[in-house]
Amino acid sequence: MSKHVCPWWLGYLLASPLRGLQYKADSILAPYVREGMTVLEPGPGMGFFTVELARRVGPSGRVIAPEIQPKMLEALKRRLAKRSLLERVDARLVRRESLGVDDLAGSVDFTLAFAVVHELPAPDRFFAEVAKASKPGASLLMAEPKGHVKPSLFESELKMASHAGFELVDQPAVRSSLTARFKRSG
């Protein structure tokens, strides 16, 4: 799979309010995230979705945000601190080979994989780690950018998710994205 990783400096553009013209984080997340949930957001970058996730889970919830780039993680923490949301987010520096979420076994209610799966060296391992961290019935929303991901690659990602124990529920509309929403079987 891909060896490309989004450069850290591009994170400023991806976290800017201008991105909100294309993606409405509150609209995308509203059907899936509620107060008190435990949410996993692999590859959060500088936190375009993380801020909204932290608001939605409330003070009794938690967002786990594994990131491989220290500069992205530092900027994410600054953005969260400015909004008094840092205490709701477990921002983790991890290796590219693993999400580093073994401690979450069976505790995640929702995972957001937004424009990240195509950048992973082993998506099958990613889906297996997410499945292990997820409660039975937990949701996974995957969105891949149409401009970067060909439909054939997206189809192979769907199959990998299925092999890991996720059932495809639907494919909600997200602008400029190939999407899939799964439920964790079991």
Any domain includes 3:
no
Distance CA 27, CA 175 (A): 11
Distance CA 91, CA 185 (A): 27
Q: What pLDDT, on a 0 to 100 scale, did the predictor assign at position 119?
A: 86
Any domain includes 110:
yes
* Nearest residue to 159 (alpha-carbon basis) of 123, 133, 183: 123
Distance CA 181, CA 111 (A): 10
Query: Mean pLDDT, the chain, as a whole number?
Result: 89
Q: What pLDDT, on a 0 to 100 scale, did the predictor assign at position 48?
A: 85
Any domain includes 79:
yes
Any domain includes 2:
no
By percentage, how much of the chain surpasses pLDDT 90?
72
What are the phi and psi torsion angles at 91 (to 5°)? -85, 115
Q: What pLDDT, on a 0 to 100 scale, did the predictor assign at position 12?
A: 46
Distance CA 112, CA 33 (A): 10
Q: What pLDDT, on a 0 to 100 scale, did the predictor assign at position 23?
A: 62
In the chain, how many domains are there? 1
Q: What pLDDT, on a 0 to 100 scale, did the predictor assign at position 47?
A: 87
Q: Which pair of tokens denotes residue 179?
A: 């999407």
**If residue 64 lies in a helix (H) or strand (E), which one and from where to where?**
strand 62-67
Q: What pLDDT, on a 0 to 100 scale, did the predictor assign at position 121?
A: 87
Any domain includes 91:
yes
Tens of pLDDT along 72-120?
899 999 999 999 999 999 999 998 889 999 999 999 999 999 989 998 8
**Model pTM?**
0.88
CATH assignment at residue 49: 3.40.50.150
* 21 pLDDT above the threshold of 80: no
Tens of pLDDT along 119-154?
888 999 999 999 999 999 999 999 999 988 999 999
* Nearest residue to 94 (alpha-carbon basis) of 73, 108, 122: 73
Range of the domain at 163: 8-184
Beta partners for residue 179, in sequence order: 143
